[in-house]
């Protein structure tokens, strides 16, 4: 079925089941190969890249909507989700759907609630839905051009992540269960957008007392195998309540 037909059929149903004027856009972060990556989908209609998004059922709160959308569009379930900002400018979606009747669902003014999600990269199996040609991970410093205000939404999500690094279990949700200190440091460096001193980082992390050193090391490298750690979840949560406030 051609794209226009799909949109027109979906439109009728959409007015019945979704809250009008509202959408959700998700910035899904993963950590892989020492890079922080973000999920983007390529829209069939215009060949543009976009953040995965959707609408809010009349029977859902926004977090339920975001979970459902991410499950449907990316195949991931049960992931760490936080709303971070509403995007409400009047001209956000100008120019899209011009070829359609004014009564079409997609041609409304949409206020979009931005969510960021943190996923353990290794557990994600991506799916491509009806509206998109592709669903891919892209490194955050190599994002393709994004449609509408999605680059701005991404920027705000990354800014939020940066501020919340000391208050939310970001490391816990992005890293696999076992990780090395250099991996943890790399994650912090990418999110904070700056190099950190290795010794200082190590000492601060140990002082927060939120890591458990395992009796294993990461095999396979050319260098001395680095020690593996995991988070002490209880202590981590407790420390985040006050904030990891020493600065990095």
Judged by the rule CB under 8 A, the positions of this chain that interact with its own copies are 19-22, 56, 58-63, 83, 85-86, 88-90, 109, 111, 113, 163-164, 167, 243, 245-248
Taking the complex as a whole, how short is the minimal distance between the CB of residue 194 and its own copies, in angstroms? 9
Taking the complex as a whole, how short is the minimal distance between the CB of residue 83 and its own copies, in angstroms? 6
Q: Is 195 exposed, middle or buried (0-12, 13-18, 19+ CB in 10 A)?
A: exposed
Taking the complex as a whole, how short is the minimal distance between the CB of residue 20 and its own copies, in angstroms? 6
Q: How far apart are the first and last CA of the chain?
A: 53
Q: Count of residues for the chain? A: 248
Rounded Cα distance between 208 and 204, Å, is 6
Rounded Cα distance between 193 and 66, Å, is 27
- The gap from C-alpha 200 to its chain's centroid, in whole angstroms, comes to 28
Give 74 or 160: the residue with its C-beta nearer to its own copies: 160
Give 90 or 222: the residue with its C-beta nearer to its own copies: 90
Rounded Cα distance between 198 and 114, Å, is 34
Taking the complex as a whole, how short is the minimal distance between the CB of residue 74 and its own copies, in angstroms? 22
Give 62 or 124: the residue with its C-beta nearer to its own copies: 62
Give 44 or 235: the residue with its C-beta nearer to its own copies: 235
Taking the complex as a whole, how short is the minimal distance between the CB of residue 154 and its own copies, in angstroms? 18
Taking the complex as a whole, how short is the minimal distance between the CB of residue 127 and its own copies, in angstroms? 26
Give 30 or 171: the residue with its C-beta nearer to its own copies: 171
Of the candidates 199, 185, 4, the one whose C-alpha atom is nearest the C-alpha of residue 99 is 4
Question: CA torsion 156→124→237→64, rounded to 10°?
Answer: 70
Rounded Cα distance between 67 and 168, Å, is 19
Q: Which tokens is 129 given? A: 């839905």
Query: Is residue 211 within 8 Å of residue 166, measured between CB atoms?
Result: no
Give 47 or 59: the residue with its C-beta nearer to its own copies: 59
């Amino acid at each position: 079925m051609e794209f226009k037909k799909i949109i027109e059929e979906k439109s009728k149903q959409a007015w019945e089941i979704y809250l009008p004027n509202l959408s959700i856009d998700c910035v899904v972060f993963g950590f892989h190969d020492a890079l922080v990556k973000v999920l983007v989908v390529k829209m069939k209609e215009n060949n543009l890249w976009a953040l995965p998004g959707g609408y809010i059922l009349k029977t859902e709160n926004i977090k339920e909507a975001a979970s459902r959308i991410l499950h449907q569009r990316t195949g991931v379930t049960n992931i760490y989700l936080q709303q971070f900002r509403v995007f409400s400018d009047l001209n956000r979606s100008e120019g899209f759907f011009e070829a359609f009747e004014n009564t079409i669902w997609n041609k409304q003014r949409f206020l979009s609630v931005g969510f960021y999600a943190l996923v353990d990269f290794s557990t994600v199996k991506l799916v491509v839905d009806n509206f998109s040609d592709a669903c891919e991970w892209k490194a955050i410093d190599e994002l393709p051009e994004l449609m509408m205000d999605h680059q701005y939404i991404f920027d705000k999500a990354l800014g939020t992540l940066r501020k919340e690094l000391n208050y939310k279990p970001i490391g816990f949700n992005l890293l696999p269960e076992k990780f090395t200190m250099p991996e943890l440091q790399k994650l912090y460096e990418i999110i904070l957008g700056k190099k950190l001193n290795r010794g200082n980082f190590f000492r601060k992390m140990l002082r927060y007392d939120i890591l458990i050193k395992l009796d294993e090391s990461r095999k396979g490298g050319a260098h001395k195998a680095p020690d593996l750690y995991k988070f002490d979840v209880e202590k981590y949560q407790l420390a985040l309540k006050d904030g990891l406030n020493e600065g990095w």
